[in-house]
Amino acid sequence: MNLYDSAHALARAIRESEEVRECARLKEIAEADETNRTLLGEYKRLQVALQVQAMGGAQAGEDDMRRFQQISSLLYMNSDVQAYLLAEMRLQRMMADVFQIITEASGLNLDMLNA
């Protein structure tokens, strides 16, 4: 089997995985409520902004950090949203594991990503 065929087979296996299906199902439930959808959008925006700041070596803005914590608290009080966010974390963990397997097979040294 050619490498690209294997990559497409892996993509298909990921798409059909229980983690992806469950995350999509729970996302649909969580985002059915407009308030949840809006808060999740703001949560994701702040999450990325804080991660970019951290990767750039910058100190996270106090206002952004406070807002992120407030939104997180609100979201995790809602059982539908909490279930979705936890499913998303499981999916991210699975994807990180797959990425690690692939990078180890390639011989690339990406240990600095784990620091």
Instruction: Specify the CATH number for the domain of residue 38.
Output: 1.20.1500.10
Supply 92's token pair: 């991210």
Above 90 in pLDDT, residue 110? no
pLDDT of residue 55: 87
Average pLDDT over residues 21-26: 98
Band the pLDDT of 17: cuts 50, 70, 90: very high
Determine contact, residues 69/46, Cβ cutoff 8 Å: no
Band the pLDDT of 62: cuts 50, 70, 90: confident
* DSSP of 24-46: HHHHHHHTTSHHHHHHHHHHHHH
Above 80 in pLDDT, residue 1? no
Q: How many helices (H) and strands (E) does the chain have?
A: 5, 0
Residue 57 DSSP code: T
Instruction: Count the domains in the chain.
Output: 1
Domain interval for residue 77? 3-114
